[in-house]
Amino acid sequence: MNLLVSTEWLAAELGKSDLRVIDASLFLPAHNRNARAEFEAAHIPGAVFFDIEEVSDSSSPFPHMLPSAEKFASRMQALGLGDGSRVVVYDNSPIKSSARAWWMLTLFGAHQVAILDGGFAKWQAEGRAIESGIPVVRHRHFTVWADKALVRDKAQITENLRTHAEQVVDARPEARFTGAEPEARPNLRRGHIPGSRNIPIDRLFNEDGTWRPLDDIRAEFTSAGLDLSKPIVATCGSGITAAVLAFAGALLGHPGVAIYDGAWSEWGASPTTPIVTGPAV
């Protein structure tokens, strides 16, 4: 199974015993939409809803932080995801939240996880089958395991300012990266991590929500000043769109784009972290 699968491929695979389909749509308050309600109204047949807000560290003051391996495994078992499953994740969100679920599943030990190219919008536009309601699933065993080698914390990002061992790329819109526009969350300073680069995620997609050709995605990384042969850490506002850049790196064959999980919600809230404004230099 490829990292990115088409609607045609998924339609042909639906119903196979080892295939699991996940709707990982997530909306921010400004979107004024309810992901769970939209899922219950219409979803791909057999899909289950992956609640990114709930499958997170509820004890953290920062949004969407990774949960413990035990909590993640428990939630996946309840969704009917088990060891050996092939998983296809999709979303219907402007922030392409399926990438966050892809990253979490991969980090916590799922071996075959793909994203549906074009998501639910493309599936619907093609007139493919949908269903409504809350699915009934059978619990399966999901091994408790985590490899956090591709997770970074504030201390590591701070140390990287000294060593420059890893390139940092920010997925936020350009105006937020430069500090020209304020952050939506309160009490966050404007700007970006010193030395970081910027690839707003909308630059990676076609108008219909499908991913651009690999050569175009590679060109975006290159024009941002990133070397795909060297370590990269992605960041964003709250850890969601950073995963889009991590997935893009995987498509391009990068061995693993790490994610700063606290993201700007943590960095921008601190009174002591260094911040710069203006374009990347």
Residue 275 domain-assigned?
no
61 and 162 housed in the same domain = no
Which residue out of 66, 236, 240, 258 is catalytically annotated?
236
11 and 87 housed in the same domain = yes
Residue 280 domain-assigned?
no
Residue 79 structural domain: 4-146
For residue 219, give the nearest of 252, 175, 186, 180 by alpha carbon. 252
Q: Hey, what are 97's tokens? A: 């939240």
37 and 88 housed in the same domain = yes
Residue 278 domain-assigned?
no
How much is the pLDDT for 29? Answer: 87
How much is the pLDDT for 281? Answer: 83
Domains identified in the chain, total number: 2
* Average pLDDT, rounded, for the chain: 96
Q: Spell out the residues 6+ positions from residue 120 whose beta carbon is closer than 8 angstroms to its own.
A: 23, 25, 43, 44, 90, 91, 92
188 pLDDT higher than 90: yes
CATH number at residue 83: 3.40.250.10
How much is the pLDDT for 270? Answer: 97
pLDDT digits (tens, 9 = 90+) for 135-168: 989 899 999 999 999 999 999 999 999 999 999 9
Grade residue 36 by pLDDT with cuts at 50, 70 and 90.
very high
Residue 273 domain-assigned?
no
102 pLDDT higher than 90: yes
Query: Is 236 part of the annotated catalytic residue set?
Result: yes
The dihedral through the CA atoms of 57, 258, 109, 26 has a sign that is: positive
Rounded to whole angstroms, how far apart are CA atoms 70 and 144? 6
Residue holding tokens 């203006």?
A: 278
134 pLDDT higher than 90: yes
